[in-house]
Amino acid sequence: MENNSENTNYIFCMKWGTLYGAEYVNRLYSMVNRNLTYPFKMVCFTDDTTGIIDDVQCFPIPEINLDSNLPERMWKKLTTLKEDLYGLQGRALFLDLDIVIVDNIDCFFEVEGEFRIIKDHGWRSWRITGNSSVYRFDIGKHGYVFDDFIAGSDAVLKKHRNEQEYLTHAINDKGKLQYWPKEWCPSYKYDCNSRFPISVWKKPTIPPGAKIIIFHGEINPHKAVKGGRGKWYRYVQPAPWVEKYWR
């Protein structure tokens, strides 16, 4: 049983497979440690603890028993919502490994709300779907999200294309969904970069009020430092400032 209380602040992250190595976990701890003034504990749910620093407590990713042939849609992240999660108690801020913290994040623990998540970026802004790169909740208080998924996974998989879409709708159905202020979690792809063709010559910038830069699509922090392209019309200039913060 973990020694904690309901007043404990946790940083959660998750690592499986080979896409991101231990250095991503260690960098995340370092960024949080520099930018969060409240005492905190960091937990990584992972299938491989090799190389992860001792400051990060590791637990196996709870079993979710999905068909191994399913496309990877981050469904494992739903296990963080289990009612009993290794006996942990407190408030958890889940952070994806491929984020970059650029300012103090105390506000993510201070703002009221039972469940907070990023409002999804992109042209479908009318949807309620959140982006689960950054979400906060009281541990064990939303067990219905995981339980309902396990009880009806076939129906959920047909209705929702990924974990964050289901998660957002499950929380919203209980009337508990709230978003972070938009400026706190800008998208590197949409908010830090200009649209093509301006992106070919204009360097990426940090938007005013940004706290955590989220990465989705083809560019992660490693690639952002050097710049480059995915498709021909998605060329982006290098962003040396990413390396400054991502350490």
Taking only the tens place, the pLDDT of each residue in 215-241 is: 987 789 999 999 876 665 567 889 999
pLDDT band at 3 (very low <50, low <70, confident <90, very high): low
What's the pLDDT at 68?
A: 66
Dump pLDDT digits (tens) for 200-211.
778 999 999 999
**What crossing angle do the helices spanning 143-151 and 163-173 adopt, rounded to 10°?**
120
If we measure between CA atoms, which residue out of 130, 99, 88 comes closest to residue 13?
Answer: 99
Tell me how far apart the 2 most distant CA atoms of the chain are, in Å: 55
pLDDT attached to residue 194 = 80
For a pLDDT cut of 70, what percent of the chain falls above it? 91
CATH 3.90.550.10 intervals, the chain? 9-181
pTM, full prediction: 0.93
Alpha helices in 6-130 (DSSP H): 22-35, 107-110
Half-sphere exposure of 92 (CA within 13 A, CB side): 23
- Residue 141 pLDDT > 50: yes
pLDDT at 145: 98
- Residue 157 phi, psi dihedral angles, 5° rounding: -65, -30
Is the bond preceding 197 in cis, omega lying within 30 degrees of 0?
yes
Q: 9-181 has which CATH code?
A: 3.90.550.10
pLDDT of the residue at 217: 78
Residue 59 pLDDT exceeds 70: yes
Q: What is the pLDDT of residues 61-110, one digit of tens each?
A: 999 877 766 666 789 999 999 999 999 999 999 999 999 999 999 999 99
pLDDT at 1: 45
Which pLDDT score is estimated for 198?
A: 73
For residue range 18-30, what is the model confidence (pLDDT) as tens digits? 999 999 999 999 9
What mean pLDDT is predicted for residues 146-165? 93
Average pLDDT of span 128-145 = 97
pLDDT value, residue 72: 63
